[in-house]
A and B are shown apart, each in its own frame.
Chain A
């Protein structure tokens, strides 16, 4: 079900893709305008980190910072436009069975994980850099991720309370992709959520709901 355009493109949507991201790694997920991206926590209590680059200009990328200001919201909620650093919607959050995501905190790296008592663990930052390099991609910058399934409460006094990993097995987010994009999805420890487990994440690019 491609976008209902008055003048539909003659080429069909590309084939669907189904990618399991094992714990401690990241995967490249390409999606075209009109497709849906669904990210699922397969076993529960596993946050997923998401970055995305515009396919033909990787200097433009999904930005949690611009996404907050675009909607005047510190938190990601249903219907919000996930926008780029050029303030263009890349994807819109259309379904969400978890409801707890983070737009404020950086991705984990081996230093932050060591500080959190997880010495030797691979962070989101390293996993994404590896995945990009293995795909032959060399974007000018690794942007800050959107941290899905990470419960960061924002108090009226500005306090940030990182709760337990909120997602149950099978919880997912799904969004209509608006710009042809190269997404990177990581399934790594955050070092912040209490009770987070070391599970995989599923990334699906789908054409029909």
Chain B
């Protein structure tokens, strides 16, 4: 065994909840490459405090983060510190989680698996009492969201290679959920949905 506090695989297109204590390290690994993982987190002690892409953008004055930056909560407090990023900052914090209307309205597909419900299920599995409406906005790790001229969003697949990892240090006790995105219609996961691995460790992850 790895000796980590937790080490498991999340099936592509499905969701999983997990917890980390303040000071622990969370490793999120794109096992097969080109797979975006939607990630949300709330503070264990008061679940209305949630990881917030918007507050992080305001604090960093950027759509993107780099190693050493913190990710902030909707109370303006640092919630995670980015301690390692094999993807070199190519992550998205702009696109809302795909939900039933993403597939039904934009692509004419009913009953598709989706990140919003995956993340909700993950949170509920940890005893976090929230409805789908209050699932926080996600960070979409490994998702590629380039900026084109005139403030346009350019659609692109991730460029992550198999085994790339991002490591977050938890700065408070957190309940988290990860959903390797089930998007298999529009560029986002290379049209092929694959598994991700999650590690929770008491010490920095150095593999």
Contact = CB atoms under 8 A, between A and B. Distances in A.
Q: Do A and B bind each other?
A: yes
Interface of A: 59, 63, 65-66, 68-69, 72-75, 77, 85-88, 104-106, 111-112, 115, 140-141, 144, 154-162, 192
Given A73-B151, A87-B105, A111 B62 contact: no
Given A73-B152, A161-B61, A111 B106 contact: no
Given A74-B94, A112-B58, A158 B64 contact: yes
Interface of B: 52, 54-55, 57-58, 61-64, 74-76, 94-96, 101-102, 105-106, 131, 133-134, 137, 147-155
Nearest to A190: B58
B123 to A, nearest CB: 15
Contact of B134 (A65, A68, A141, A155): A141
A154 B151 contact: yes
Contacts, number: 87
Contacts of B150: 75
Given A87-B105, A155-B147, A156-B147, A106 B153 contact: no
A74 B52 contact: no
A63 B54 CA distance: 13
Nearest to B94: A68
Interface of B is mostly: mixed
A112 B105 CA distance: 36
Given A72-B153, A73-B151, A160 B96 contact: no
12 contacts: A69-B96, A73-B152, A75-B150, A85-B133, A106-B52, A112-B76, A140-B133, A144-B54, A154-B147, A154-B151, A157-B62, A158-B62
A146 to B, nearest CB: 12
B153 A73 contact: yes
B54 A69 contact: no
Contacts of B62: 157-160
A4 B202 CA distance: 64
A87 B106 contact: yes
B75 A74 contact: no
Given A68-B153, A158-B64, A159-B62, A115 B76 contact: yes
A160 B151 CA distance: 11
Contacts of B134: 140-141
A105 B58 contact: yes
Contact of B96 (A66, A72, A158, A162): A66
Given A86-B101, A141-B133, A141-B134, A65 B63 contact: no
A106 B58 contact: yes
Nearest to B149: A156
A27 B139 CA distance: 32
A112 B54 CA distance: 13
Contacts of A192: 58
Given A87-B101, A154-B63, A155-B147, A104 B76 contact: no
B62 to A, nearest CB: 5
